[in-house]
Amino acid sequence: VTDGPGRLTTSWATTWRTLLGAAVDVVVPPRCVACAEPLERVDRSEGAGAWCDVCAEGLQPAPRPGLFLYVGGLATLIQRAKYSRELGAAHALARLMADRLDTDALGPIDVVTFVPAHWSRALWRGFDLPALLADAVAVRLGRPRVSLLTVRRRDPRLAQTSSREQRQQLVAGRFGCARAAAGRRVLLIDDVHTTGATLGAAALALRGGGASVVPRTLALTPDDGTFMAIDAPDQ
């Protein structure tokens, strides 16, 4: 899934789109991707894909950089993608993000990149959710998805600490930035935004590399620490 820093991966994104289309078509009869209830009616023109009305209405818009709050069916789907390693769930999330991103609000974007997981995490999971989200968004925008960030080190203390200040300190300096970032306006994609420490460090690395950054995350947790334990294993 990952490639070298700065390599263009438009062909991979095209492959992904083909695979996703095939995956969606084999689901007969269609079921809600979030709750698995059979769907009486699938209206793909609505843009949210195969979500039942209940789950679709349960999607709660979040303030930027988030698209939706990390609650309900969306939270369940994200946990299935991240911790149960369900590729179908990951593809459904990627489709949701690409469909529902407010592209008008982004301004001109040169490239799409993502917050990378440590390689051992991506290997264990078999795929990297933020990379899949970025692929789908790149296809929607007609821009290349480029791996601009590398993980320098992983601090095991991150999984234990819930203090915002501590997390920011631990995450600072975590990412390296490819030279290809210089002078570009970069859309930075992540899956779940909890404290902002990881996204902030990634944005800082890109800006340090000469890019301007527009961050977006699929989900934003309510800023009260409620979901910290759920998100912590990946941070």
Kindly list the residues in this chain that would bind Zn ion in the complex (CB under 5 A): 32, 34-35, 52, 55
Query: Exposed, middle or buried by CB within 10 Å (0-12, 13-18, 19+), for 182?
Result: exposed
Min dist. Cβ of residue 25 to Zn ion (A): 19
Min dist. Cβ of residue 60 to Zn ion (A): 15
Quickly list H helices, 83-163: 87-100, 119-125, 129-141
Q: Decide whether 88 or 176 has the Cβ nearer to Zn ion.
A: 88
Q: How far apart (Å, rounded) are the C-alpha atoms in residues 121 and 126?
A: 8
149 CB-near residues (< 8 Å, 6+ apart): 5, 113, 114, 115, 116, 175, 176, 177, 178, 202, 205, 206
Q: Decide whether 35 or 151 has the Cβ nearer to Zn ion.
A: 35
Q: Decide whether 30 or 176 has the Cβ nearer to Zn ion.
A: 30
Q: How far apart (Å, rounded) are the C-alpha atoms in residues 135 and 114?
A: 9
Min dist. Cβ of residue 37 to Zn ion (A): 5
Q: Decide whether 92 or 205 has the Cβ nearer to Zn ion.
A: 92
Task: Tell the residue number behind the tokens 């340090």, with chain if given.
Answer: 208
Min dist. Cβ of residue 94 to Zn ion (A): 18
- For the record, the structure tokens of 13 come out as 């994104």
Q: Decide whether 47 or 210 has the Cβ nearer to Zn ion.
A: 47
Q: Decide whether 52 or 89 has the Cβ nearer to Zn ion.
A: 52
Q: Decide whether 6 or 30 has the Cβ nearer to Zn ion.
A: 30
CA 79 to each of CA 11, 55, 83, 188, 232: distance values in angstroms, whole numbers, following the listed order: 28, 15, 5, 21, 12
Q: How far apart (Å, rounded) are the C-alpha atoms in residues 125 and 111?
A: 25
Q: To which H or E segment does residue 55 belong?
A: helix 53-57
First to last CA, the chain: 19
Min dist. Cβ of residue 57 to Zn ion (A): 10
Min dist. Cβ of residue 102 to Zn ion (A): 23
Min dist. Cβ of residue 34 to Zn ion (A): 4
